[in-house]
Homo-oligomer: A and B are copies of this chain.
Amino acid sequence: MSLIVVGTMAFDAIETPFGKVDKIIGGSATYVSWAASNFIKPIKQVSIIGGDFPDKEIASLKERGVEFDGVEVVKDGKSFFWSGRYHLDMNTRDTLITDLNVLAQFNPQLPDSYQGSEFLMLGNLAPAVQISVIKQLKTRPKLIVLDTMNFWMEVALDGVKEVLTMVDVLMVNDAEARQLSGEHSLVKAAMKIMKMGPKFLIIKKGEHGALLFHEKSVFFAPALPLEDVFDPTGAGDSFAGGFIGHLAKTKDISYNNMKTAIIVGSAMASFCVEKFGPSRLQEVSPADITERINEFVELVNFDINLV
């Protein structure tokens, strides 16, 4: 039972109303693996980094059971760099700089040791790269989860539509669901998107929680009301890591278990936003996670007594 995680490993510079950092570790695959490694190992990482990516960070991930056979290191290249600014409303952000660097040449070749994995998390990347990874797998994974973004809908919509036919679960935010479907109502948007391929759709609404759609059913998970959201970077990827990590651990990909997985994902996202970068994710213990999940249970638990 293993999990392949495909995505970026990068440097981020981030400004929020609470502070500023110049160059910290980031990238979708970094956040996914930190979150998922609480639940499942090994994690078979697929990414590309420059010679500037710190050995220490690689060693910490390896200690958590993350394998690097599928991570290409371009010794004289620089790692992907992203810089962004959040305003008081943490649900939106401005991208200030995107330096692709080694990511521009990313053409992942899956090592033989990655074959036979049952779970595949495709982080936000060019659809062509996501499709290439799926096609390299000789046996289709039991579950393929896809993340994508508005950017790819604008520059590579045909690619997005193609990869959608190949996956089980799509994760997007509310604005992206509206853009992809052309529908303002999220219920109508979900019905249209599920006709494009994925049998399950997760719509992330940031501080307003997440919706899981499947056939005619819908499940809602709130975000935990936090005193401070310090830095939302990586929250969506931490959510994805908790989600697929729980499914891989329990080996159960039913709709019912996906509801629980969304709560686990929401818990991981709620940790992520408490500090800059993945630092909070790196320090949480299993007991912290259990306690946080219980807070979610408390948050939505009610008795219906209509008598």
Residues of A in contact with B (beta carbons under 8 Å apart): 88, 184-188, 205, 208-209, 211, 217-222, 225-229, 250, 256-257, 259-260, 262-264, 290, 293, 297-307
Cβ contacts under 8 Å, A257 to chain B: 305
> Can you report 30 residue pairs joining A to B where beta carbons are below 8 Å apart?
A88-B184, A185-B227, A185-B228, A186-B225, A187-B226, A187-B227, A205-B208, A208-B208, A208-B209, A209-B209, A209-B222, A211-B225, A218-B225, A218-B299, A219-B299, A219-B300, A219-B302, A220-B222, A220-B225, A222-B222, A250-B307, A256-B302, A256-B303, A259-B302, A260-B304, A260-B305, A262-B302, A263-B302, A263-B304, A293-B304
Cβ contacts under 8 Å, A260 to chain B: 302-306
**Partner among B188, B219, B298, B306 whose Cβ is within 8 Å of the Cβ of A217:** B298
Closest residue of chain B to A222 (Cβ to Cβ) is B220
Cβ contacts under 8 Å, A305 to chain B: 250, 257, 260
Cβ contacts under 8 Å, A209 to chain B: 208-209, 220, 222
Cβ contacts under 8 Å, A262 to chain B: 302
With A and B bound together, what is the CA distance between A258 and B250 in angstroms?
35
Given known A205-B208, A208-B205, A208-B208, contact A187–B302 (CB-CB < 8 A): no
Expressed in whole angstroms, the minimum distance between the Cβ of A273 and any Cβ of chain B is: 12
Closest residue of chain B to A261 (Cβ to Cβ) is B302
**Partner among B219, B300, B306 whose Cβ is within 8 Å of the Cβ of A220:** B300
With A and B bound together, what is the CA distance between A184 and B91 in angstroms?
13
Cβ contacts under 8 Å, A208 to chain B: 205, 208-209
Expressed in whole angstroms, the minimum distance between the Cβ of A236 and any Cβ of chain B is: 17
Closest residue of chain B to A263 (Cβ to Cβ) is B302
With A and B bound together, what is the CA distance between A13 and B208 in angstroms?
31
With A and B bound together, what is the CA distance between A57 and B183 in angstroms?
37
Closest residue of chain B to A206 (Cβ to Cβ) is B208
Cβ contacts under 8 Å, A205 to chain B: 208
Judging by beta carbons under 8 Å apart, are B298 and A300 in contact?
Answer: no
Cβ contacts under 8 Å, A222 to chain B: 209, 220, 222
Judging by beta carbons under 8 Å apart, are A188 and B227 in contact?
Answer: yes
